[in-house]
Chains A and B, each alone.
Chain A
Amino acid sequence: MTSAGLILNDVRLAIGGRTLFDGLCLCIAPGEIVTLMGESGSGKSSLIAYICGSLDTEFDVRGSVTLDGQDMGPLPIERRRIGVMFQDDVLFAHMSVGENLAFAVPPGVTRSERQTRVNDALVEADLDGFAARNTATLSGGQKARVALMRALLAEPRAMLLDEPFSRLDATLRERVRNFAFSTIKRRNIPALLVTHDRQDKSDHVITL
């Protein structure tokens, strides 16, 4: 088993005496996208929270998560460098589209370089000229693309996608999904997609 990528080893999640899943092992290589499916309440979103480090302390947890060979367990969410894209777009309402993106650019970058990266991201997301726009004026698809680009601008080492396309209509969903998959693959980072939708197939599909 290679140490590069995102690896879950013998993970068990339980809450209130109820085991959500046990013995989960998963290895996602760089550039690979794995789709995780399961019924409501099977623990998909809890698994996402566990991997990114935001799981509620009420959960009983066993197992480990490593990213590129580094154990994520002791690290708080902000130190893991794992990007998350939620079902809700979670854009910051008090910031413009450009400010939302600039917020994610890592520190130590000059102002002009920061602006360049934001502009490049907007072009890549087909949102050129949207920098000054209020996020409330964006369509669902546009919001999803901004949320994805924002997560990627933080230079994550892995991406978690928690049903990010579920609120989009069928046509838009396919466009945004293709955009998200191709963008993640270009960055060559491992990604885990949690979904209810069988259309959201990727490199591999596993079921909880």
Chain B
Amino acid sequence: MRPVKAAFARNPFGWALPLTLAVFIGPIFLGLFGTLLPAFGLQPALGSFELSFDPWHDFFNDPALTKSLRLTLTVGFGATLIAVIIGFCSVAILFGTRAFGIVRSLLAPALAFPHASFAVGLAFLIAPSGWIARLISPWATGWDQPPDLLIVRDPDAIALMLSLALKESLFLVLMIVGALGQINAGSLLRSARSMGYAPARAWLIVIAPQVYAQVRLPIYAMLASALSIVDMAIVLGPAAPPPLAPMTLDWFRELDSGRQLMASVAAIFQLLLVIGAVLLWRFGEMVVNLAVRGPLTNGIRRGWAERIAGGVGRIGISLALVASVGAILMLLIWSFAGTWSWPGALPQRWSAAMWVRSGDTLVLLVWRTAIIAIAASAIATALAIFCLEAGIGQPKSRWLVILYVPLLVPQISFLFGVQLLWNRLWLDGTMVAVTLTHLLFVLPYVFLVLSDPYRALDPRIAIAARSLGASRLRTLVRIKIPLLARPIATAMAIGFAVSVGQYLPTLFAGAGQIDTLTTEAVALASGADRRLAGVIAFTLTALPFMALALVSLAPNRLGRANQ
């Protein structure tokens, strides 16, 4: 552990690394341990110390397992593969164009769009009685009433897979845009094009492989998330049976202790599934790498490949953006809908009654959601700054991988154990427990957003301040933080958005007693009242957007400082 010792020796922020590791790795390992014990029949709290493989036997003999597993793999691999294809093809076709600038400006708001409200809005859009069906009925479809089709919650989870793919493709484009800054993309592309290669082909051959190496970890995180998604699966996925993660959650919630033990097995199995899936994906990468070595240097300058890629990219990114905007519109319209009978494209009567009726509950939910998110993002930002000051976060640092651990390990695999941990500490069901659990998922994003601008700050500025007699802490507080005000504000806003969107961590750490906008939106999604779901989900969407809007008020001094 030389870097830890070195960090302590070198500067006063050396404590930041062990503290962050404790905050990060501690709860995950304790949580996994807490989930692992019941999976083998060990429940010390209930006085059960006898090792048993019965829960595993019961789990593997559950009649719903095969179907649930098939759905999980379909959604996980399908959504990730489609998102990767859309992400890379869209940047290949748009890079360097004006449209690319427009898409880039829409990425941060799209990323801030919580999965739960995206799913609710999208369900309102694509359901048999949704907006799309209304817009084309009855003149194009002949439907006098909503058709009896299983578009949402279809038994094969196609709606879930495609929705997740569209949502994650925007996240991946954002990651690719970030990675482009790490390589000399413009010059590389000009160089390839000067040899006669068509723009999209040049991008796919020369830039994409280098960018892929940079976004490999986020893609693994996407795969892990898609294999274990819960909130979107509850809204858009099938129920009988659901994919593995929501099925595990159902089992955890049952009163039957046998089911709860099976849930622990399922949670551990989910982790093994993700590890296997990531290894399989890595193997796939190697196969693709071998397969494309020839085409990389076959000299063909243009052909059908980039035309197909261009079409896929254009259609994919357009669908992703239209789905996002459409989902928000749906939430807004439904929240103000008075009377809206089929097949009207818009409500026959508008009303703010639902906003007024849910006022008190809404204020309480907003307050609770915001307090947790502000606290989690503020702590995460402070930890990230201290870690960066301690010298952690250099591009080649091995510690960066640790940051991805909470994003790679399925939430369902360790949150039950974390809940037991909070229970032991008399904290379960408190805002403190929810905030600290959110911190696990907020910190990676805050760190990733902040580390590039932090490294971009000309080191001579700090050297100049230190040479004038300022201490390291004073240099940080008086020089660096003011110069980095905009990136710090952006990191906090992203952290806030991530916290606001947390479903499973809120459910487990809150022990069902702490409702936030996300838990409420998911609970209402399958209910009959679309107006109330619209109000809650739209408010859930508005919170992170407002945080991002506030960022624009922060001064932007970094560029000037480096000049």
A residues within 8 Å of B by Cβ?
Answer: 52, 54, 76-84, 86, 88, 90, 92-95, 99, 102-109, 114, 150-151, 154, 156
Which residues of B are interface residues toward A (Cβ below 8 A)? 183-184, 187-188, 190-199, 202, 205-206, 209-210, 213, 293, 296-302
Give the residues in chain A near B213, CB-CB below 8 Å: 94
A81 to B302, CA, bound (A): 14
* B192 proximity list for chain A (CB < 8 A): 92, 103
Q: Could you tell me the distance between the alpha carbons of A39 and B555 in the complex, rounded to whole angstroms?
A: 34
Of all chain A residues, the one with the shortest Cβ separation from B188 is: A90
Cβ-defined contact, B188 with A78, below 8 A: no
**Do the beta carbons of A109 and B193 come within 8 Å of each other?**
no
For this complex, 15 residue pairs linking A to B, each with C-beta atoms less than 8 Å apart, are: A52-B190, A77-B190, A78-B197, A78-B199, A78-B301, A82-B194, A86-B187, A86-B191, A92-B210, A95-B297, A99-B297, A108-B299, A114-B299, A151-B194, A156-B194
Do B191 and A95 touch (CB < 8 A)? no
| Residues in B neighbouring A83, C-beta threshold 8 A | 194-195
Is there contact, CB below 8 Å, between B210 and A94?
yes
For B198, the closest partner residue in chain A by CB is A78
For the complex, give the distance between the alpha carbons of A123 and B210 in Å.
Answer: 28
Say which residue of B188, B190, B194, B298 sits within 8 Å of A107 (CB atoms): B298
Q: State the Cβ distance, A160 to closest chain B Cβ, in Å.
A: 8
Query: Which of B184, B202, B205, B206 touches A78 (beta carbons < 8 Å)?
Result: B202
| CB within 8 Å for A154 and B195 given contacts A90-B184, A94-B209 | yes
Question: Chain A's nearest CB lies how many Å from the CB of B7?
Answer: 28
Q: Contacts of B191 on A, CB cut-off 8 Å?
A: 84, 86, 90, 151
Partner of B184, one of A76, A80, A88, A104: A88
Neighbour of A90 across the interface among B187, B199, B209, B302, CB < 8 A: B187
Q: Which of A83, A90, A107 has the most C-beta atoms of chain B within 10 angstroms of its own C-beta?
A: A90
Give 4 closest A-B pairs by Cβ, nearest first: A102-B297, A154-B195, A107-B299, A94-B209
CA distance A114 to B300 in the complex (A): 12
- A92–B195 touching, CB < 8 Å: no
Which residue of chain A has the shortest Cβ distance to B298 in the bound complex? A107
Of all chain B residues, which has the CB nearest A147?
Answer: B191
Docked pose: A104 CA to B191 CA in angstroms: 10
CB of A52 to closest CB in B, whole Å: 6
Please determine whether A52 and B299 come into contact, CB atoms closer than 8 angstroms: no
Knowing A78-B199, A88-B187, A95-B296, the reply to whether A103 touches B205 (Cβ < 8 A) is yes
Query: Bound state CA distance, A80 and B194, in angstroms?
Result: 7
In the assembled complex, how far is the CB of residue A171 from the closest CB belonging to chain B, in whole angstroms?
26
What's the Cα separation between A104 and B377 when bound, in Å?
49
CB distance from A77 to the nearest CB of B (A): 4
Contact B196 A79 (CB under 8 A): yes
Given A78-B198, A93-B210, A94-B213, are A107 and B300 neighbors across the interface (CB < 8 Å)?
Answer: yes
Q: Which residue of B lies closest to A82 (CB)?
A: B194
Provide the bound-state CA to CA distance between A8 and B296, in Å: 35
Q: In the complex, given contacts A78-B301, A83-B195, A107-B298, what are 19 additional A-B residue pairs having Cβ atoms less than 8 angstroms apart?
A: A54-B190, A78-B194, A78-B198, A78-B199, A79-B196, A82-B194, A84-B191, A84-B194, A88-B187, A90-B191, A94-B210, A94-B213, A103-B296, A107-B301, A108-B299, A109-B299, A150-B195, A151-B194, A154-B196
Q: Find chain A residues with CB under 8 A from B195 CB.
A: 78, 83, 103-104, 150-151, 154
Q: How far is the CA of A109 from the CA of B298 in the complex (A)?
A: 8
A87 to B261, CA, bound (A): 64
Residue of B nearest to A81 (CB): B196
What is the CA–CA distance of A99 and B457 in the complex, to the nearest angstrom?
36
CB-nearest residue of chain B to A105: B299
- Bound complex: CA A79 to CA B194 (Å): 8
Name the distance in Å between A116's Cβ and chain B's nearest Cβ: 13
- On whether the beta carbons of B196 and A114 are closer than 8 Å, the reply is no
A residues near B293, Cβ cutoff 8 Å = 99
Are A77 and B184 closer than 8 Å at their CB atoms? Answer: no
Q: A88-B187, A93-B210, A103-B205 are in contact. Are A77 and B299 (CB under 8 A)?
A: no
A101 to B202, CA, bound (A): 15
Q: Which residues of A contact B188 (CB under 8 A)?
A: 90, 92
> Separation in Å of the B373 CB from the closest CB of chain A?
39
Most chain A beta carbons < 10 A, residue from B188, B193, B199:
B193
- In the complex formed, the residue of A with least CB distance to B213 is A94
Which residues of B sit under 8 angstroms from A109, Cβ to Cβ? 299
Give the residues in chain A near B300, CB-CB below 8 Å. Answer: 107
CA distance A94 to B211 in the complex (A): 10
Q: What A residues does B298 contact at CB under 8 A?
A: 107
By beta carbon, the residue of chain A nearest B201 is A78
Q: Identify the closest chain B residue to A159 (Cβ).
A: B194
Partner of A77, one of B194, B296, B297, B302: B194
- Say whether A106 contacts B194, CB under 8 Å: no
Q: Which residues of B have CB within 8 Å of A77? A: 190, 193-194
Residue of B nearest to A107 (CB): B299
Query: In the complex, A101 Cα to B198 Cα: how many Å?
Result: 18
* Across-interface contacts of B301 in A (CB, < 8 A): 78, 106-107
Task: Knowing A86-B187, A88-B184, A90-B184, say if A52 contacts B194 (CB, 8 Å).
Answer: yes
Report yes or no: A114 in contact with B297, Cβ–Cβ below 8 A: yes
> Cβ of A90: which chain B residues have Cβ within 8 Å of it?
184, 187-188, 191
Among candidates B184, B196, B206, B209, residue contacting A106 with C-beta atoms closer than 8 Å: B196
Closest CB in chain B relative to A107 CB, distance in Å:
4
Q: CB distance B297 to A84 under 8 Å?
A: no
| Chain B residue at smallest Cβ distance from A84 | B194
**Shortest distance from the beta carbon of B300 to any chain A beta carbon, whole Å:** 5
A54 to chain B, nearest CB (A): 5
CA distance A80 to B206 in the complex (A): 19
Q: What CA separation (Å) do A88 and B192 show in the bound complex? A: 14
Give min CB distance, A155 to chain B, whole Å. 9
Residues of B within 8 A of A82 (CB): 194
Q: How distant is the Cα of A172 from the Cα of B188 in the complex, in angstroms? A: 24
Chain A residue at minimum C-beta to C-beta distance from B303: A107
Residue of B nearest to A100 (CB): B297
A150 vs B194: C-alpha distance when bound (angstroms): 11
Which residues from chain A contact B299 at a C-beta distance below 8 Å? 102-103, 105-109, 114
A25 CB to closest chain B CB, in angstroms? 24
In the bound complex, CA of A99 to CA of B205 (Å): 12
Nearest CB of chain B from residue A112's CB, rounded to whole Å: 13
Query: Whole-angstrom distance between the alpha carbons of A81 and B197 in the complex?
Result: 10
Specify the chain B residue showing the minimal Cβ separation from A95.
Answer: B296
A102 to B193, CA, bound (A): 15
Question: Which of A81, A92, A151 has the most CB atoms of chain B within a 10 A radius of its CB?
Answer: A92
Give the residues in chain A near B297, CB-CB below 8 Å. Answer: 95, 99, 102-103, 105, 114
